[in-house]
Structure 1
């Protein structure tokens, strides 16, 4: 049997979805012959899956002969295989510097649709993928590129929330406005509402989050020093913010925590324990924020905008005094 037909019948046997999706694969892969091969592959079954496995060596050579961009194929084999949802793979390859790579991968037969949204390399290409991986260029995407976005607090807050799985859209709207339709953080990550967050396949989401939190740790410590607060300070990995514990006179109303967040944290560990807390974040107060359930201080350079809580707070009053004494230009709103 023609190798093209064996390959085609394999996909028709395993594909679960709309025929138009598989047809597009056939158009890319077989060109002018696609209709002929589509008709000939009708009625494919489990026997065709076994036939493709039996002919794995020859199918490997067929696919290899189509590859006209070995570096892109090698990058997919080394990194892109971890992404199987079509749009995630497309965005992941873009982060690797390979725009329009998905079309090439399908044209070669290195990947194919297994359903409307799932694309992956067929198992009979395992040997070819291993060969390509050995020739893949070594990529070193510097995660500390994140520092370039340190003053874009809304973007880093969104990124952290998505990576940690604790993103709170309502909270984000209160502090930063509407969630953007697209977010790109250099070559590190991209977010769209329909896909979610995709990080560069060279790294795992956990590795990106680790560097992001370390950057936040450093900035929170510097901000803590600038505030010159007394008491015990620590950076909480759970809350992903600096926590400054204060006990002014031993009374409950003048004791509490100053949560120092260079950009907002959506950590449930922080928001579940909101008792006598003052929140300090970098950036400007959003125009629509007139009050919040706790006192909030927005720091930008030598300026501090204070948003008072709905109920009076002795702790916030003390923090305001500290801001004045530390040389900040302070403005207050009820």
Structure 2
């Protein structure tokens, strides 16, 4: 072999195919076009979000200007006297979502663990498919089922038992007392729990399945029980994804409309009892927006929508910050 001199290197460079040099310039333009396109889509989403927020704020301003901070702390809602307050629907939205999470998270966790850790292979796919099909059912079907099936059964069998057992306890007893009418804040929260379970369970199942098998087998080899493997290996490895799934379900619960409207009772009243009728922001908008007469009435309803938007953004932003903190914590430990 002979060494390549500088002259030989120049000749090799000169003999490089012309197409390579010619294609370099179009390739750079293609990369720039792709970058600009994706940047446009990202900014477009932010622009739409800002436009929605500004439009709601502009339309809701007459109500905020007329009532001031009293709009946020008053539970009065009287279209006849044009006195409106957002406290009752705001509390109803948060309480029903909290009830949904209290029921939905443990059940979703159990479903995901059963599918990924305990179910035989022939049962995993049918159960997983059934859970996913629950997410495809329209919300109005859940509402009709809750009104005609769950509410009567709850009134006759479940509510009396809860009143006799939980209703006599100190501090929390008044929350489980009330007339057996079926439609209530508790019923709405329970229906929401059924609706968010498919979303949370599906995400938990997916993140549980990405845990490396070697980690679990190593824990079993060291004498760990199945529960210890789940608690000390699976959950720490997937906690970011689990919390993300929970927040997705919470976002669904905060904004659900039709199912809640069927079973919550739609009463503008604040009660300590969960067995009394109530309302949420979404149910109030669904019931009264078409009947709103006058600028102040319409503006008050739009103000409720603005508050729901703000509540959802705050909750999801808090969840995002929590996820970022968890990711940094995991990165520090791995380092």
How does the TM-score come out when normalised to structure 1?
Answer: 0.19
Q: Which structure dedicates a bigger proportion of its chain to strand?
A: 1
How does the TM-score come out when normalised to structure 2?
Answer: 0.18
Q: Which structure dedicates a bigger proportion of its chain to helix?
A: 2
Between the two structures, name the one with larger relative contact order (CA 8 Å, sep ≥ 6): 2
